[in-house]
Structure 1
Amino acid sequence: MNLRFLETFVWVARLKSFRLTADRLFTTQASVSSRIAALEADLGVKLLLRDSRGVSLTPEGSKVLEHAERMLETAKAMKQSLDSDRAKVGRIRLGVMDTVIHTWMSGLVAELSERYPQVEIELVADTALNLREQLQKGFLDLILQTDLLREQSIRSQDLARYPMGWVVAANSVYQRGYDSLAELGRERIVTFSKNSRPHQEVLTLLQAAGAQAPRLNCVNSVAAITRLLRDGFGIGALPPALVATELARGELVLLNGLPSPPSLELVVAWQTGVALVDEVVGVCRQVLERYAREVGEQRIVLA
């Protein structure tokens, strides 16, 4: 329903004059008449009566007026809320792991820039371990990484998890069937930085399956991992979401028939008492929910 038409109707009802309403809204009487006619056609009822004494409401018009005034007040409050957000100033120091950078980070930065155009966004990309240390020392306000933190001045919440998979270059020596994880573990495995949560979980998984001294090559850059896999360097243990384009083009493929590595957890952690940070956490959730709807549960699963 057109809010401009509702506004015009409300002013005609208040002023009881098409001419005065036209003056109030800086338009013409013909435009006022056209808006009222369109609103009546939309609702299927007669709202106003015009005679030699002026303008009056029909019984249906009285009912519509009450609802129209509430709708306009709601729209006004919403606009004031948005204007208040856009007037906010300050700085948010945001730390993100590489996995977020290569999936939904652009959408988050775009949303924050649109919602808080006068707020400075400092973005730091680093390993989860380093991000946690910087948050604990007060160098960052909010981080997106893999672990829940339990400290007095820090809050954290699970956001989602990225399903993991075994990824190889198409038509490489690694694109073949493996009878077990123990056999797979004899190959060169490429995964995230040393002592990160996914590195430790992949290592534990292979060792539990009987792999003797698995060769894990630890890389802290998703771009570097992707390039190494495309060049046939080894078998990647990483979320398919990170290489969705390469998988779609057929440059990389997923190995099937073996247990997948544990999912990569996504956790938001933030300093309490920092201006705007609670709101930014909410924006993170909204943007992530949109991303999850777009890519589906094979790529990311919301907490």
Structure 2
Amino acid sequence: MNLRFLETFVWVARLKSFRLTAEKLFSTQASISSRIAALEDELGVRLFLRDSKGVSLTPEGRKVLEYAERMLDTMQALKQSISETGSIQGRIRLGVMDTVIHTLLSPFVTKVMEVYPGVEIELTADTARNLCEQLQKGYLDIIFQTDVLRGDGVRNLEVARYPVQWIVLTGSIYDRGYASIDELAKERIITFSKNSRPHQDILNLLHAGNVAAPRISCVNSVAAMTRLIRDGFGIGALPAALVHEELKQGLLTILDDVPQPPALDMVLTWRTGVGLELSEDIVALAGEVLQEYARQMGDSMITLLPFASDQETA
């Protein structure tokens, strides 16, 4: 039995799409269909049902999937037992939110390249919501985002929190004491993109403080937010880790006399299954890099969560 055809079958079952499988395996839809047809002929059963809603497994297909994954898992274990990490080839499709780009990404990518020099890193930067959609569609392997994602073959690890503070230009009209959150909310607030987790947290905080109509500017770029705050456009609501250098230089100041916004969670989410073992190893590397980053930055910039919070969804 052709293991390549079995791998194709597993990916069609996982992604529920011949087109997405073709993209994943760098092939064509015609080639994918041909492999599945050949496998069906060899086994003497129909593996998939195709209709307007997409592709789904037949009862026979579900039985075959169980055995196919075992066979591919055994083959992968054999390959790993006779190879070193430096000889591992492949590609990892990594998705990161903007906060990670400005904090953790550089040391993380450096670590991955050091341990797996033969692995190509394909990087996508986007909002947490868009990253989750792309992971579910099979376009990404690992994402750094803000919420636990439910879905078949998906695992989540809540790894850290970035404390979020009110940050202003030092010496500006915003650099003063505020008697309440209501008084602060009369000024323009700068935070992350609309409907993002941080934006929703800010709205909830202000609502709890009976703020009826806050002036919020939603920006989808950390660099743009930082520039607006430095130009005195308003009060920033973002993790202090993103403006660590500006705070250190005294260019920006944290307002600490009013309730602070909720912390920004960081969740590692990745696809699991046969052929995706490299993702597990790279997630472990992320944990090592996080430990070192947190040690350097301190709890005021990032707080690690126990990795025991790992949870698998089915």
- TM-score interval, normalised by the smaller of the two chains: 0.7 to 0.9
Q: Partner of 1:227: helix, strand, or coil?
A: helix
Match of 1:181 in 2: 181
Cα deviation, 1:113-158, whole Å, max 9, x if unaligned, reads 0100010000111110110110011100000010001211111110
What amino acid is the match of 1:267? V
- TM superposition shift of 1:212: 2.0
Q: Is this contact kept in 2: 1:183–1:211, CA < 8 A?
A: no
What amino acid is the match of 1:230? R
Cα deviation, 1:229-286, whole Å, max 9, x if unaligned, reads 0000000000000000000111110012111000000000001122400001100111
Cα distance in structure 1, aligned partners of 2:253 and 2:103: 18
The 5 A counterparts of 1:171-250 are 171-250=171-250
The 5 A counterparts of 1:77-116 are 84-116=84-116
Q: Which runs of 5+ in 2 are unaligned?
A: 1-79, 306-314
Q: Is this contact kept in 2: 1:162–1:299, CA < 8 A?
A: yes
Q: Is this contact kept in 2: 1:90–1:120, CA < 8 A?
A: yes
2:275 is equivalent to residue 276 of structure 1:
no
Q: Partner of 2:237: helix, strand, or coil?
A: strand
Q: Is this contact kept in 2: 1:207–1:214, CA < 8 A?
A: no
Cα deviation, 1:186-214, whole Å, max 9, x if unaligned, reads 11000001000010000110111011210
Q: Is this contact kept in 2: 1:222–1:242, CA < 8 A?
A: yes
Could you list the structure 1 runs, at least 4 aligned residues long, displaced by more than 2 angstroms after superposition. Answer: 80-83
**Which of 284, 287, 293 pairs up with 1:285?**
287
Q: Is this contact kept in 2: 1:203–1:216, CA < 8 A?
A: no
Cα distance in structure 1, aligned partners of 2:82 and 2:130: 35
- TM superposition shift of 1:82: 12
Match of 1:153 in 2: 153
What amino acid is the match of 1:118? G
Aligned alpha-carbon RMSD (Å): 1.4
Q: Is this contact kept in 2: 1:99–1:242, CA < 8 A?
A: yes
What amino acid is the match of 1:228? L
Q: Is this contact kept in 2: 1:185–1:212, CA < 8 A?
A: no
TM-score w.r.t. length of structure 1? 0.72
What amino acid is the match of 1:199? H
TM-score w.r.t. length of structure 2? 0.70
What amino acid is the match of 1:279? D
Cα deviation, 1:141-176, whole Å, max 9, x if unaligned, reads 000010001211111110000011000001111001
The range that moved more, 188-197 or 82-91, is: 82-91
Q: Is this contact kept in 2: 1:158–1:267, CA < 8 A?
A: yes
Q: Partner of 1:276: helix, strand, or coil?
A: helix
